[in-house]
Amino acid sequence: MIFYSAGYVLRRYPEIGSPRRSLAAGVLALALSVAAELGLAVSLQSQTLAEFIKSRDEVSGAVYIGLLLVFAVMPRLRLSSRALARRAPRDA
């Protein structure tokens, strides 16, 4: 889903079609997503931020952090794959 969403954002907003801007868009999306998650966790679960972070499991937390990094860089990765696809010769 992250792969397809990043492709949609790149098609919908062509002005972020540079490597730097696509990475900035991914980092901004990551920041907004994490802020929303932490805000909801604190407000809906009646926990402090420290309690919420301490309640995370080490293994699943590491996988989660890894997926957040993939989420942040996916627009940049999709940009690279689109550029390669455009340069590849087409079969006749």
Structure confidence at residue 42 (pLDDT): 85
Q: How far is CA 17 from the centre of its chain?
A: 16
11 or 61, greater pLDDT: 11
32 or 88, greater pLDDT: 32
17 or 80, greater pLDDT: 17
Structure confidence at residue 92 (pLDDT): 44
58 or 8, greater pLDDT: 8
pTM of the model: 0.75
84 or 12, greater pLDDT: 12
Each residue's pLDDT tens digit, 63-92? 989 999 999 999 999 987 666 466 555 544
| Cβ(35)–Cβ(27) below 8 Å | no
Question: Which residues make Cβ contacts (< 8 Å) with residue 65, sequence separation at least 6?
Answer: none
Amino acid letter, 28: L
Across residues 39-50, what is the average pLDDT?
86
